Amino acid sequence: MTTPRPAILLFRNDLRLSDHPALTVAAAGGKPVICLYVNDPDAPDPIGRAQLWWLHHSLAALGRQIADLSGQLVLRAGKTRDVLGDVIRATGADAVHWSRRYTPNAIAADTALKAHLNDRGIHVESHAGRYLFEPWQIATKAGTPFRVFTPFWRSCLAQLDAAPAPLPAPDASFMRDLPSETLEGWGGLPTRPNWAAGFGSLWTPGEAGAMARLDSFLDKRAQGYAQGRDFPAATNVSNLSPHLQMGEITPRQILASLRRAEVLGDVGQRDGAKFLAEVGWRDFSAYLLYHNPTLPLEEFQPKFAPFPWRDDAKDLTAWQRGQTGYPIVDAGMRELLQTGTMHNRVRMIVASFLIKHLRINWRAGLSWFHDTLLDADVASNAASWQWVAGCGADAAPYFRIFNPITQATKFDPDGTYIRQWVPEIAALPDKYLGAPWKAPSAVLQAAHVTLGMTYPHPIVDHARARTAALAAFEGLSASA
Ligand code: FAD
């Protein structure tokens, strides 16, 4: 009996072996599978520097997993079509499988690549797995895309129970001993300065790390999620987003584990429903981008496009470095630089501050997040920034301006979060932690705080900034 010709599994942001439809189909019929990752200089959505750190470690973990199964993760740099051509010539592979990508740039790249390979007689198949639903599966009764989350999610929930169960990792026969480059040679890790030094103790990139994170969340931290998820010092959130972003775990696996935890009584109905709805927001963001390809570039609601943005490099730098003089904003921005993530509540506060207090273009914030977040995602990032700016689909109303002082008091009432990330004001009493400039000088002195020296004065006055932002927004409606 002749051995079937090999199939190539082209890994991209799907770095796992279980619940991997592309791998399962590639390996069907006993076809040997070539696991390939291409470091493509023309990748359609170049990732930021923080995510490069994650990618390096995630690929290392996947490589070890495949080696343990007597296979090899082949690493090659170059244009994807050229590398595929080389590997096909060298191995006689007759099929290429990949997990579908949904950003406009990736759709264009994959459509062209598929046509190119088909022209050469290669079978190409793209597969689902990244989201609970494909963006074309959910529509209004009229057949149009939803623009609002609640009815979108209701429609998803109605179809969720019929969703297929996660696939086990297939018993594939992997090919090995093919020419491969090394991750070290790709230089994805920062050296001087090594700003990612703190990441390693916080994160375990890879499929095993993702599963361990999910299990520990459902075991210990999901109880109380519905309320606790708003408090940045609480440990109720899952921290799964970088794992999801790199495709080390699927939402379908999360759903299956959540349902098990609910049956066992580890997670209550309210907490489970809220958590699942947040995973639903991830689907919704991808859905919005799929149906509105300009989402990262243009205001979803065009009436906001002429907003008179300020172009102020000094204020932008103060925001990026966590030196605005507003402790809850500075805490978030420093958490981001030191850990590669930021709590969702604080993301909303810092984004609102940039857009509304500083009136700096939301695209500048989006681009900083893209470079510094380990979970940076074209769809979720764009949808969320537009949500905060008020110009997105189903967005917060533009006149909702997060007050960074009352947000600190409400969501970090004992100052645990601020004290962790802004240690130079840690000795202030709780009541002044959100607004140190309101503390009497004797209190500042006792806490060893000298405004303008040890911690900045606020770079804008909250009340004046709020009035100016509202005036700018109202100017828009007057001219519309
Ligand atoms: P959990 O609360 O445990 O939620 C579980 C999962 O649901 C998350 O891992 C995530 O995949 C998804 N999720 C939760 N909230 C949202 C949301 N609002 N929108 C979309 N998906 C959500 N999330 C990203 O994954 N990538 C981004 O680039 C990104 N940029 C953002 C920018 C701004 C300005 C804001 C306000 C939010 C952004 N978010 C982004 C959404 C959210 O902040 C993160 O997904 C969440 O903080 C991740 O933490 P977690 O995994 O502990 O979330």
Look at residue 199 and tell me if it is in a domain: no
Q: Are 203 and 54 in contact (CB under 8 A)?
A: yes
Q: At which residue do the structure tokens 């109905």 appear?
A: 269
Q: Would you tell me how many other CB atoms lie within 10 Å of the CB of residue 113?
A: 18
Residue 2 has pLDDT above 80, yes or no: no
One domain, residues 275 and 367: no
Residues 310 and 221 both lie in one domain: no
At residue 458, the pLDDT reads 98
- The model's pLDDT over 158-168, given as tens digits with 9 standing for 90+, comes to 999 877 889 99
The count of structural domains within the chain is 3
Taken as a whole, the chain contains a residue count of 480
Q: Quick check: 402 pLDDT over 70?
A: yes
Do 224 and 236 form a contact (C-beta atoms < 8 A)? yes
If asked whether residues 66 and 125 sit together in one domain, one would say yes
Per the domain annotation, does 190 fall within a domain?
Answer: no
pLDDT of 192 > 70? The answer is yes
pLDDT above 80: residue 87:
yes
Whether residues 110 and 161 share a domain: the answer is no
Does any ligand 1 atom lie closer than 6 A to the CB of residue 51?
Answer: no
**Which residues, other chains included, contact 439 with Cβ-Cβ below 8 Å and sequence gap of 6+?**
428, 429, 432, 447, 449
Same domain, 125 and 137: no
445 and 308 assigned to the same domain: yes
> Among 8-22, 24-38, 390-404, 460-474, whose mean pLDDT is lowest?
390-404
Instruction: State which of 291, 311, 341 marks the end of a domain.
Output: 291
| C-alpha to C-alpha distance for 132 and 156, rounded to whole angstroms | 8
Q: Looking at the domain assignment, is residue 414 inside a domain?
A: yes
Same domain, 429 and 446: yes
Cβ(174)–Cβ(32) under 8 Å? yes
381 lines ligand 1 (CB under 6 A): yes
Q: Compute the mean pLDDT over every residue in the chain, rounded to the nearest whole number.
A: 96
377 annotated among ligand-binding-site residues: yes
Which of 272, 291, 310 is a domain's end point? 291
Count the Cβ atoms, other than its own, within 10 Å of residue 325. 19
Residue 478: pLDDT band with limits 50, 70, 90: low
Residue 480's pLDDT is what?
Answer: 58
Whole domain around residue 336: which residue ranges?
A: 302-478
Report the share of the chain in percent with pLDDT over 70. Answer: 99
Instruction: Read off the DSSP letter of residue 63.
Output: H
Q: Closest Cα to residue 17, out of 260, 247, 259? A: 247
**Cα of 257 vs its chain's centroid, Å:** 21
Q: Are residues 264 and 348 in the same domain?
A: no
Closest C-alpha residue for ligand 1 atom 9: 241
Closest CA to 132 of 272, 12, 287: 287
Report the pLDDT averaged over residues 287-296.
98
> What tokens were used for 237?
């959130």
pLDDT (average), residues 49-58: 97
Residue 200, in any domain of the structure: no
Residues 336 and 468 in one domain: yes
Mean of the pLDDT values across residues 274-298? 98
Mean pLDDT of 416-431: 98
**Cβ–ligand 1 contact at 382 (below 6 Å):** no
Domain boundary among the residues 80, 113, 129 is at: 129
* 287-298 as b/e: b if 16+ CB within 10 A: bbbbbbeebbeb
Which pLDDT belongs to residue 163? 77
Does one domain contain both 258 and 357? no
Active site residue 362: yes
* Cβ–Cβ under 8 Å, residues 333 and 322: yes
pLDDT tens digits for 306-336? Answer: 999 999 999 999 999 999 999 999 999 999 9
Q: Is the pTM of this model over 0.95?
A: yes
Residue 83 lies in a domain: yes
Burial of 174 (0-12, 13-18, 19+ CB in 10 A): buried
137 CA from centroid of ligand 1 (Å): 23
Residue 369 in contact with ligand 1 by CB distance below 6 A: yes
Q: What is the pLDDT of residues 131-146, one digit of tens each?
A: 999 999 999 999 999 9
Domain match, 336 and 416 both: yes
CATH number of the domain bearing residue 429? 1.10.579.10
User: What CATH number does residue 135 fall under?
Assistant: 1.25.40.80
Residue 479 predicted with pLDDT over 70 = no
Which residues touch 385 (CB under 8 Å, ≥6 apart)?
A: 351, 362, 363, 365, 366, 369, 392
Q: What is the pLDDT of residue 398?
A: 84
The verdict on 104 and 120 lying in the same domain is yes
Q: Which residues of 454-474 are buried (b: 16+ CB within 10 A; e: fewer)?
A: ebbebbbebeebbebbeebbe
Q: Verify whether residue 153 is a known catalytic residue.
A: no
449 CB under 6 A from ligand 1? Answer: no
Residue 194 domain-assigned (yes or no): no
**Is the residue at 395 inside a domain?**
yes
- Model pLDDT for residues 337-355, shown as the tens digit of each residue: 999 999 999 999 999 999 9
CATH number of residue 63's parent domain:
3.40.50.620
| 344 is an active site residue | yes
User: Ligand 1 pocket check: which of 375, 381, 387 to mutate, most ligand atoms within 8 Å of Cβ?
Assistant: 375
Contact 18, 253 (CB under 8 A): yes
- Please give the distance, rounded to the nearest whole angstrom, from the Cα atom of residue 317 to the centre of ligand 1: 24
81: in domain: yes
